[in-house]
Structure 1
């Protein structure tokens, strides 16, 4: 559903147990992501360029098989759900999420992290990134960003 003009996909919870990839790239009018708690096999979620999104639903924390999350150019994204710790997540792209000020509680298994052009001010003190292989932080100005990270 790339570049769709939809503002909302559907109401309520849909049983999407076979869904492995969801690509909403360039859907700039999309304001809300539906409850994905039953998309238990979702591995890739691409919301690149969904510039009207302000937040993700709390149900994203149920996506235990999610390995890739691309939120690049979600210019109005301000927050992630609390306690989003996704154990399988290894690639997170937040490039251009210029309103994002706090770093999400993500997987400790993250290996690729792109934070270019975000407004993230600091990492949480309990952040562990032992598996991090690639980190990109172009155009970030916070001087205290790494103070609490291990």
Structure 2
């Protein structure tokens, strides 16, 4: 139990440190290239999981605060899927996509695992954290679908900053 907590804390810290690394290579310190940031988060988690993380990312630039919140949200979702979606002996697949349509950003995290017990997991720290983070966004909306695994779709309004 302690090991799991420490690993999840490490993922959170790495997600935050990637923002600072991303900003240091940027020409502006207010905007974050989300494709690069998400790739960094996924690559960090990929080092510690045997599941395959597949990315489908469209260009999107967010302000630093939104980028950090979205990174923490994504980190929780991928970490939860990596840890809980599949039996230990199964090598699973986790899909992550970021789409931008008419000022609407849509982040999707999908696994094809066993899903989770909604009675037990509805108050998990990860889900509570993701729900709290979604409230920081303009028209933030989180939906979870449990058919054929678990799919988390988080959408919010964002004017294009490219």
Q: TM-score, normalised by structure 1?
A: 0.28
| Structure that is richer in strand per residue | 2
Structure number with higher relative contact order (C-alpha < 8 Å, ≥ 6 residues apart): 2
Q: TM-score, normalised by structure 2?
A: 0.27
